[in-house]
Amino acid sequence: MLVHTILIDKKPEEVPLLVESLLGKVVEEFEHRLASQYEVMKTTSTDITASNFNKPLSEPISGDKKMEEKNIKMMKKDDSFLKSITNDELKDQSLKLQMILNKQQRDIQVLKHTIDATTADMQHMQTKFHEEFNNLGMNIHGLAHAASGYHRVLEENRKLYNQVQDLKGSIRVYCRVRPFLSERSSYVSTVEHIEDGNITIGTPSKYGKGCKSFTFNKVFGQSVTQAEVFSDMQPLIRSVLDGYNVCIFAYGQTGSGKTYTMVGPKHLTEENQGVNYRALGDLFVLAERRKDTFRYDVAVQMIEIYNEQVRDLLVIDGSLNVPDASLMPVSSTSDVIDLMNLGQRNRAVGATALNDRSSRSHSCLTVHVQGKDLTSGTILRGCMHLVDLAGSERVNKSEVTGDRLKEAQHINKSLSALGDVIASLSQKNTHVPYRNSKLTQLLQDSLGGQAKTLMFVHISPELDALAETISTLKFADRVATVELGAAQVNKDTADVKQLKEQIASLKAALARKEGETEQSRHSISDTDCSEKYITSSDLFPFTPNHRVGDMLGARQLMGDAGNIDARANSMLRQEKQSFSLDELLTNSPPWPPVISPTQNFRDDEKESGSGEWVDKVMVNKQDNINRVGIPLGCWEAKNENSPDVFYQKYLQNSSKIYQEQSSYNMFMGGNRFNMANISDIDDLDVSTSHLSEPDFLWQFDQSKLSCITNGIGIGSKTKKPPSKSTSTPERSKTAYPMSGPSPSRKLGNGVGQPLHRNGRQPVPAEGKRKIGSRK
């Protein structure tokens, strides 16, 4: 017990030493007591025996046999003396003591052996303990290493999983939970658990008691910062610079944090700015880092879909209904911030019972990136849609009437169209109903094409949002099952470009011949045309050999349609003239025009449209017109060598096709037909007035294309303004044999071409560019 008490609070490593010193003390004490006993015995003997008996046992007490024998000898020696003692009792006592002494000496010997053995054992144990202690340390270290390795492996697994997803072309789905808004902080969260890609929602009995779990690529809890969210999608955004098309769209109930994620809160700081700002900032940082090997050009466009009307958000005069979707070249993050602030200001905001900052429109920021490999001349084109969808809640919950009800109905309609497209894609239907809403048309490239697509699903943690939360997560769950096919790089290698030039050259020659025939047949005034052509040619006197791979790349092929004479000097231009539908789709580049100072504008030719997208081309004109609404005018000066432009425009009523350099149809990506001149457009209007707008725009097929490529299909939905309706379809056809506007993505929406089993258009070798910015 004593030993236990002493050892109980001692550290294990102290125990051996303590026991050893304890034993040492015991031995010492024992010897001390033995010595004192010996003294007692000696004194007693002295008292009892005579002087010779008084002789002490001076020999040191040692336990060996010699001592015993000596003692025995002594006892024998003293035998005669003892005999002389008369007192038998003393004699007996003395003998007894002697025997005790002998016994104790033997005991001491045994004890000493025991101590030696114990000490040896202790030392052995001590060594063993140290060894084990070291082993334990090593094992713990190994475990810690394994634990950190486990996290690394988890991270690696996640990356590999995402790569597999990329290869399969699955839509990536991230889920984000909004924190409680301050006044509701006492509420209980419906989110029970979040771990990696899993989120568990607790459901009280009225919603079917228990909990529901969903798995996504990533789930962000309430405390996750904007920077953390962005870092997870950064690789995706960076792939835009590598020539991929990317679409990130935010989905969720009103007030669930979509705008917060995509843009940030009302009062923006560097820390809280959203994906849009960070993405563009990142693009510039990367572009700068790669400047020795690549030259990048970036331009942005911002539109919104409000009540099924598409509106340009990058206008500065507040006239949101202007038909042109401006394309703004940007060269720094601050350019971007200025533009996005403008876009945000212009975004339609309406109040509902759910959220006083409720945006009742879908907004889309599109970033066009073109990179030129400075060594090989290869052109990479990437396009990124960053879409902030309107709230997905049901109409009745918004408690709205009148305009708000109308807005909500439009939103619901477009979101359910989105749902239908998703369902169609996940079932790999041959027909995918992209046309059912502007939203699905907008996202067609990203949902059915081979872009990298990320859906950011947002949920609110409040109990009263539970039904919406569950339906949002179910929708996201379905989206996650959609496979789009592996994303593909939009790349023009030098070889491809050379071949394209050759094809263009041959086709241009053919088209020129046809054009000449037509011209003579319809007696069209050559003066206007030749003047125009010469102008264009003079403005862009490049030859295919030295301009190939220049910044505008193949866009130029599309940009000069109608300019027959100019084509004679430029195979690139010639290519445009006799494109078939497939070729148009194949060769339509996504890159927006870059405005040259030598290019001019004809704003006076703008008109309002009826709300559909059509494509336009800018024929280079001498008119020097101010670009109202382009805050970054300096861009033009920086791009002195930029050749002519090709672009598309959104027209509110498509009553006319416009010429406008500052616009580019983001929906259409690279699919566009070309218009030559405003006066010729009128001819086209007349020629196509019998076609319905939907037919023209969305149900494009080969037969309609033939009209368009002959210059008479442009206005299937367009109406000719009375003042200019003097031309005939024939004339248009003659003058601009290939100048019809591109139905752009409408061409690629599955009509007129056989579809893949998953609903996508079969993409011929060069056909990827038909959707968005693909080649």
* Residues contributing to the site for ligand ATP (CB under 6 A): 178-179, 181, 252, 254-260, 265, 355, 357-359, 390-391, 458
User: How far apart are the C-alpha atoms of 296 and 370, rounded to whole Å?
Assistant: 5
Least spacing, CB of residue 463 vs ligand ATP, in Å? 17
Say which residues have a Cβ less than 8 Å from residue 641's Cβ, sequence separation at least 6: 550, 551, 596
* Strand locations in 598-645 (E): 610-617
- CA distances in angstroms from 452 to 250, 261, 380, 384, 449, listed in the order given: 15, 19, 16, 9, 9
Position 114, amino acid: T
Nearer to ligand ATP, 257 or 329 (CB): 257
Nearest to ligand ATP of 304, 518 (CB atom): 304
The smaller minimum CB distance to ligand ATP, of residues 298 and 465, is found at 465
Q: Which amino acid is residue 611, in one-letter code?
A: G
| Residue with Cβ nearer ligand ATP (23 or 181) | 181
Nearer to ligand ATP, 411 or 551 (CB): 411
Q: Whole-number minimum distance, CB 183 to ligand ATP, in Å?
A: 11
- Pick 390 or 508: Cβ nearer ligand ATP: 390
Residue 349 has what DSSP assignment? Answer: B
Least separation in angstroms between residue 414's CB and ligand ATP is: 13
Residue 405 Cβ vs ligand ATP, minimum distance, rounded to whole Å: 16
* Cβ distance to ligand ATP smaller for residue 460 or 758: 460
Q: How far apart are CA 544 and CA 559, in angstroms?
A: 14
| Minimum distance, C-beta of residue 360 to ligand ATP, in the bound complex (Å) | 7
Cα separation of 256 and 391, whole Å? 8
Of 76 and 474, the one with the shorter C-beta distance to ligand ATP is 474
396 to 355, 393, 464, 466: CA distances (angstroms): 14, 9, 14, 16
Of 260 and 540, which has the nearer Cβ to ligand ATP? 260
The smaller minimum CB distance to ligand ATP, of residues 159 and 266, is found at 266
**Residue 613 falls in which region: left (phi positive, over 0), alpha (psi -120 to 50) or beta:** beta
For ligand ATP, give the closer residue by CB, 461 or 643: 461
Question: What stretch of H or E contains 336?
Answer: helix 333-346
733: number of Cβ within 10 Å: 26
Which is nearer to ligand ATP, 386 or 487 (by Cβ)?
A: 386
Residue nearest to ligand ATP (CB): 257
Q: How far is the CB of 618 from ligand ATP (least distance, A)?
A: 35
Longest dimension (CA), the chain: 172
Q: Is 485 exposed, middle or buried, given 0-12, 13-18 or 19+ CB atoms closer than 10 A?
A: middle
Nearest distance in Å: CB 262, ligand ATP:
8
Q: How many whole angstroms separate alpha carbon 675 and alpha carbon 618?
A: 7
**Minimum CB separation from ligand ATP for residue 347, in Å?**
9
Q: Closest distance between ligand ATP and the C-beta of residue 244, in Å? A: 26
Least gap, CB of 178 to ligand ATP (angstroms): 4
Given a contact cutoff of 8 angstroms between Cβ atoms, the answer to whether 507 and 584 are in contact is no
Least distance (Å) between residue 279 CB and ligand ATP? 17
Annotated binding site: 252-259
Angle (nearest 5°) at CA 454 between 449 and 455 = 110
Contacts (Cβ under 8 Å, ≥6 apart) of 564: 511, 512, 515, 529, 533, 577, 737
**543: helix, coil or strand?**
coil
Residue ranges at the known binding site for ATP? 252-259
Residue 397 CB, shortest distance to ligand ATP, in Å, is: 13
Q: Which residues of 653-686 are buried (b: 16+ CB within 10 A; e: fewer)?
A: bbbbbbbbbbbbbbbbbbbbbbbbbbbbbbbbbb
DSSP, collapsed to helix, strand or coil, labels residue 26 as: helix
Residue identified by tokens 């899993």 is 198
**Closest to 514 in 3D by CA, of 674, 740, 733, 741:** 733
Q: Are 536 and 467 in contact (CB under 8 A)?
A: no
Instruction: Report the distance separating Cα 276 and Cα 274, nearest Å.
Output: 6
Smallest separation, CB 391 to ligand ATP (Å): 3
Given the complex with ligand ATP, which of 176 and 774 has the nearer CB atom? 176
Taking the CB of residue 494, how many other CB atoms lie within 10 A of it? 14
573 and 567 Cβ atoms separated by less than 8 Å: yes
